[in-house]
């Protein structure tokens, strides 16, 4: 039954999908902690709270399969597991996280969720604890601690003025097959009423259970139900209490449960016959243990969430787009005031216009900065996905790898952060699979058995730099160049002229890989191509530093935002272009005589180095007396862009262009100036990427 309008229900589901990713991430992180601290009960409690929240939220959204599976998972998350079972519990936790993730993806696409049978089998292995390993009875243990959904079901039955009973049944110790006993009890309960809640959850989980708990709705009397449940040679004792509200069990019910546990473990507490009042009559104000209850934890989370407002990213983008229009309007107003100043220099309105424009500029700048901060999130949200990835790949490939993270509090635009997830995953996979050697190879090379992968982030001007490095074998230049020649990417003569940096960049060519074998993780030569493609789309660049036997470092440089840039404007062939100021190294002026031709490329000597020239229009004549060259830096490379006229700097609001408007990939977008002029924004990384193969890019059609 859906209590919300369709639109509201849709919003709640989207909110659930978003929050569930945080829950699963927390589950993965806690699983990694448990792997290092195998029997820490607090970590298990944290995971149980996560699963409990996921169970309740998924049930509220109508995702019954996920809610049921999460409820079953709760049974495996017990701090009192036998010694040695906690390591297996780690694998169960990771399996659960992957299963829940797959189910969420299916729900989001409105398709049937995958089966949770593999996870259920793991849960059964955890919950099938031999009797001699059963923990000693604990009065603070779970007794009728039904889930939120089950409590709601009980409360709903009570609201209909029907009888609801809590039942505790001790399985006869002489009964060999407890799963069969559970099935018989369940059949009896179905015959006398409707089962609202039951523990264990199924016959397989009941194999080593010493008792059965249930809440049923029934019109029969307590005496009749007790008689039916007292199955000879199956159930040794039964205690029933009628409840008027969802509350803790009574003294008699607790006695049956405690005695059943005591017999199963062989331990009989001295105080069993006369328990302390606080232990057997817990009230709402009684603190049974130091651990906060799940309801208390949820309340604390809700209080903290009251200060947080979740807003769809598209709404923020709309506001940011409107701010862009205001920036264009400010530019138009500025140009109008300049024209007014030329014709009415002594008019008293001149200073008032200037003051109004200055105020508008300050407020607009602050507004833009504030909205941008809303979109900025710490890069930690991206980095925290990779410890589990490194752990799984290292285990699969029999590596010993530690992941070190720094700079995780550095902020980046949410859109760019999401786009970087896939390329960073490829780089991390390659670092573990191909970069870091096997423990034996590392020892033979005089290295520690355990390799290291480093993730680092920091700001550099108006760019964000993310580094992925390893202390592995490094890139084999000879093998990389040979593979490139085999695939016809470069000729042998071209390969002999490549610098180390240019040779390393061959790794980004589609289908090129130096791996000797193709694994499930990498080796097909597609991952690095994805890295280059995504960085180009983000108007970013990639730098590579690699030293044989010492390791490799990839540096991803991306803008802090894709909304606006400070740009240098210039004209080429009568058309207005712009390049980000962050990429402009310097501006120089040469003559036609200073331009030389080497291997079909136009070059100039700039101090101690040769600089390749890029001409978007006709190359300068040999007798040209003044040629402007804008020196552009793209990662670890530089080139000179020949321009006709420099137009100065201006803040530009980037507008994306449809493919039919710009057929060249060297244009990344456009902007509109205050006078209505359209300026094309160059894709610097695309221009730099084609330098080695194209002597002149030609004019843009």
Provide the token pair at 466: 């993310």
From 380, 362, 376, select the one nearest 316 (Cα to Cα).
376
Residue 362: partners with Cβ closer than 8 Å, 6 or more residues away: none
Which pLDDT does position 443 carry in this prediction?
Answer: 93
Residue with token string 């752990």: 391
Please enumerate in sequence order all residues whose Cβ is within 8 A of that of 70, keeping only pairs 6 or more positions apart, or say none: 51, 52, 54, 55, 58, 100
Cα angle value 505/507/508 (rounded, 5°): 80
Digit-coded pLDDT (tens) for 80-102: 666 666 677 888 899 999 999 99
209-216 average pLDDT score? 85
Q: Per the structure block, which two tokens stand in for 420? A: 């970087």
CA 202, 208, 213, 217 torsion-angle sign:
positive
pLDDT digits (tens, 9 = 90+) for 542-559: 888 888 889 999 999 888
Instruction: Read off the pLDDT band of 562 (50, 70, 90).
Output: low
CB 383 within 8 A of CB 455: yes
Per residue in 366-411, pLDDT (tens digit) is 887 788 778 788 899 899 889 999 998 998 888 999 999 999 888 8
- Is the pLDDT at 1 greater than 50, yes or no? no
Q: What is the pLDDT of residue 666?
A: 77
**Alpha carbons 326 and 436: distance in angstroms, whole number:** 51
Residue 79's pLDDT is what?
65
**Pairwise pLDDT comparison (328 vs 217), residue with the higher score:** 217
431: phi then psi, degrees, rounded to nearest 5: -60, -40
Q: What is the pLDDT of residue 299?
A: 47
Classify 271 as helix, strand or coil.
coil
Q: What pLDDT digit, counting tens, does each position of 611-667 carry?
A: 888 888 888 888 888 889 999 987 667 889 999 999 988 878 777 766 555 556 678
Strands across the sheet containing 601-606? 584-590, 627-634, 637-643, 609-614, 601-606, 596-598
Per-residue pLDDT at 263: 44
Taking residues 568-585, report their average pLDDT.
89
- In the chain, % of residues over pLDDT 90: 15
Helix or strand holding residue 677 (H, E): none
Name the CA dihedral angle for 112, 118, 123, 128, rounded to a multiple of 10 degrees.
Answer: 140
- Tell me the average pLDDT across 263-288: 33
Comparing C-alpha atoms, which of 97, 77, 91, 78 is closest to residue 25? 97
Return the SS3 of 305.
Answer: helix
pLDDT of 55 > 60? The answer is: yes
Ordered alpha helix ranges (H), 344-399 = 349-375, 380-383, 386-396
Q: 508 pairs with which residues across the strands? A: none
Sign of CA pseudo-dihedral 4, 9, 12, 13: positive
pLDDT band (50, 70, 90) for residue 281: very low
Q: Which two tokens stand for residue 408?
A: 């995780």
pLDDT winner (highest mean) among 181-185, 343-347, 675-679, 690-694: 181-185
Higher pLDDT, 436 or 663: 436
Average pLDDT over residues 275-285: 31
Tallying the residues shown for the chain, one arrives at 701
Query: Rounded distance, CA 669 to CA 676, Å?
Result: 16
pLDDT band at 300 (very low <50, low <70, confident <90, very high): very low
What band does 297 get if pLDDT is binned at 50, 70 and 90? very low
* Lowest mean pLDDT segment, chosen from 226-230, 330-334, 632-636, 675-679: 632-636
Q: Is 83 left (phi over 0), alpha (psi -120 to 50) or beta?
A: beta
Q: 654, 681, 674: which is closest to 577 by C-alpha? A: 681
Contacts of residue 102, defined as CB under 8 A and 6 or more positions apart, other chains included, come to: 113, 114
Q: What is the pLDDT of residue 138?
A: 32
- Mean pLDDT value across the chain: 78
The Cα 4–Cα 17 span in angstroms is: 17
Q: What does the pLDDT look like over 122-161, one tens digit per residue?
A: 888 777 644 333 333 332 234 567 766 778 788 888 888 8
Tokens of 329: 């309007």
| Higher pLDDT pick, 328 / 291 | 328
b/e per residue 595-633 (b: at least 16 CB within 10 A): beeeeebbbbebeeeebbbbbbbebbeeeeeebbbbbbb
For residue 270, is pLDDT > 80?
A: no
Q: Using CA of residue 383, residue 385, residue 386, residue 388, what is the dihedral sign?
A: positive
Lowest model confidence (mean pLDDT) among 35-39, 140-144, 271-275, 603-607? 271-275
In the numeric block, the tokens 């606080």 are attached to 278
**pLDDT at residue 691 in the model:** 62
Task: Kindly state the tokens that stand for 469.
Answer: 């490095």
pLDDT, position 302 = 46
Strand-strand pairing, 627-634 and 637-643: antiparallel
**549 three-state secondary structure:** coil
| Average pLDDT estimate for 17-39 | 87
């Amino acid at each position: 039954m859906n209590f919300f309008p369709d639109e509201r229900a849709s919003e709640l589901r989207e909110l659930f999908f978003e929050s569930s990713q945080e829950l699963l991430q927390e589950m993965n992180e806690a699983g990694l902690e448990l792997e290092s601290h195998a029997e820490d009960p607090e970590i298990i409690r944290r995971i149980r709270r996560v699963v409990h929240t996921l169970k309740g939220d998924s049930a509220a959204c109508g995702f019954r399969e996920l809610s049921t599976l999460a409820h079953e998972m709760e049974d495996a998350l017990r701090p009192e597991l036998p010694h040695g079972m906690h390591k297996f519990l780690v694998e169960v936790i990771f399996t659960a996280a992957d299963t829940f993730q797959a189910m969420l993806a299916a729900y989001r696409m409105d398709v049937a969720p995958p089966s949770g049978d593999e996870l259920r089998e793991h849960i059964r292995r955890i919950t099938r604890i031999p009797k001699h390993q059963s923990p000693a009875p604990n009065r603070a243990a779970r007794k009728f601690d039904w889930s939120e959904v089950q409590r709601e079901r009980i409360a709903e039955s009570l609201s209909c003025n029907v009888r609801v009973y809590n039942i505790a049944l001790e399985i006869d110790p002489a009964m060999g097959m407890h799963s069969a006993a559970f099935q018989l009890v369940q059949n009896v309960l179905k015959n006398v009423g409707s089962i609202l809640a039951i523990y264990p959850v199924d016959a397989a989980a009941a194999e080593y259970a010493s008792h059965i708990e249930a809440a049923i709705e029934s019109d029969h009397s307590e005496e009749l139900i007790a008689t039916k449940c007292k199955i000879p040679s199956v159930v040794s004792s039964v205690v029933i209490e009628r409840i008027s509200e969802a509350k803790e069990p009574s003294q008699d019910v607790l006695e049956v449960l405690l005695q059943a546990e005591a017999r199963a473990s062989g331990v009989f507490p001295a105080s069993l016959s006369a328990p302390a009042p606080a232990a057997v009559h817990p009230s709402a104000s009684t603190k049974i243990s130091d651990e906060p209850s799940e309801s208390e934890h949820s309340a604390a989370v809700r209080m903290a969430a009251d200060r947080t407002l979740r807003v769809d990213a598209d709404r923020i983008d709309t506001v940011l787009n409107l701010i862009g229009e205001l920036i264009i309007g400010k530019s138009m107003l500025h140009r109008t005031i300049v024209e007014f100043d030329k014709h009415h220099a002594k008019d008293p309105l001149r200073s008032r216009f200037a003051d109004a424009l200055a105020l508008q500029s300050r407020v607009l700048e602050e507004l833009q900065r504030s909205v941008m901060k809303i979109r900025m999130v710490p890069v930690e949200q991206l980095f925290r996905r990779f410890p589990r990835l490194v752990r799984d790949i290292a285990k699969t490939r029999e590596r010993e790898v530690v992941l070190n993270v720094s700079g995780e509090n550095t902020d980046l635009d949410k859109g760019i952060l999401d786009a970087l997830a896939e390329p960073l995953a490829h780089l991390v996979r390659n670092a573990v699979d191909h970069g870091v050697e096997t423990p034996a190879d590392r020892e033979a090379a005089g290295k520690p058995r355990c390799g290291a992968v480093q993730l680092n982030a920091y700001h550099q001007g108006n760019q964000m730099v993310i580094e992925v490095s390893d202390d592995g074998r490094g890139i084999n230049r000879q093998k990389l160049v040979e593979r490139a020649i085999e695939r016809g990417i470069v000729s042998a003569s071209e390969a002999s002229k490549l610098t180390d940096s240019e040779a390393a960049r061959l790794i980004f060519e589609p289908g090129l890989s130096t791996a000797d074998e193709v694994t499930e993780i990498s080796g097909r030569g597609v991952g690095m191509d994805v890295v280059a493609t995504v960085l180009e789309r983000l108007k970013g660049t990639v730098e590579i530093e690699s030293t044989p036997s010492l390791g490799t470092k990839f540096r991803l440089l991306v803008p802090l935002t894709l909304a606006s840039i400070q740009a240098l404007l210039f004209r080429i062939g009568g058309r207005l272009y712009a390049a980000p100021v962050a990429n402009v190294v310097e501006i120089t002026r040469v003559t036609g005589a200073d331009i030389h031709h080497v291997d079909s490329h136009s070059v100039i000597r700039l101090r101690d180095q040769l600089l390749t020239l890029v001409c978007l229009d006709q190359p300068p004549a040999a007798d040209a007396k003044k040629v402007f060259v804008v020196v552009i830096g793209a990662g670890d490379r530089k080139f000179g862009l020949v321009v006709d006229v420099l137009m100065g700097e201006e803040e530009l609001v980037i507008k994306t262009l449809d493919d039919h408007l710009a057929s060249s990939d060297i244009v990344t977008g456009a902007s509109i100036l205050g006078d209505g002029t359209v300026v094309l924004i160059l894709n610097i990384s695309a221009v730099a990427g084609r330098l080695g193969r194209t002597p002149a890019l030609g004019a843009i059609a």
